[in-house]
Structure formats: C-alpha cells, structure tokens
C-alpha cells in the first residue's frame, strides 16, 4: 500500500513538473513570435529558426537541471 501511494505521488510530481516546463517553454515561444517573424523577414530559413528554438529549449532544460541539483544540496 505504501509503495502504491509513493508511486502515485511520484507520478503527480513528474506530471506537474513536465507541465510547468512545457508551459514556460510555450510562453517563451509565444512572446518571441514577433522576433521569429523578423528573423524570417530578413532571410532566416525555417531550419535556422527551428535550431534557435531547440537551442533555447536546451538552455531552459539545463537551467532546470542545475536548479534541481542546487536545491538538493
């Protein structure tokens, strides 16, 4: 019974964490849509813009991992 409760708690924590990270990334992209439009208008390809978005996502992920490690110590 205790293992089931722990499993449910872990699932809830993981789900909310993933949802929060996804939400912050979605907000970031929504705020930067104008910038992406300007990049496209000056000649940036879709591949270059996609690479920029992926790079930003990697930075957000690294920051969240760093914070997680920082608060656990």
Overall pTM > 0.95:
no
Token pair for residue 49? 């813009």
Nearby residues of 29 by Cβ (< 8 Å), 6 or more positions away: 53
In tens, the pLDDT along 33-48 reads 888 899 999 999 999 9
In tens, the pLDDT along 50-66 reads 998 889 888 877 876 66
Share of the chain above pLDDT 90, in %: 32
pLDDT-based confidence at residue 8 (cuts at 50, 70, 90): very high
Share of the chain above pLDDT 70, in %: 86
């Amino acid at each position: 019974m205790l293992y089931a409760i722990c499993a449910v708690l872990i699932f809830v924590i993981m789900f909310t964490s993933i949802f929060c990270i996804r939400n912050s990334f979605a907000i970031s992209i929504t705020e930067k849509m104008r910038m992406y439009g300007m990049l496209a208008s000056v000649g940036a390809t879709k591949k270059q813009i996609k690479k920029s978005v992926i790079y930003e996502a990697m930075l957000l992920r690294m920051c969240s991992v760093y914070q997680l490690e920082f608060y656990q110590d």
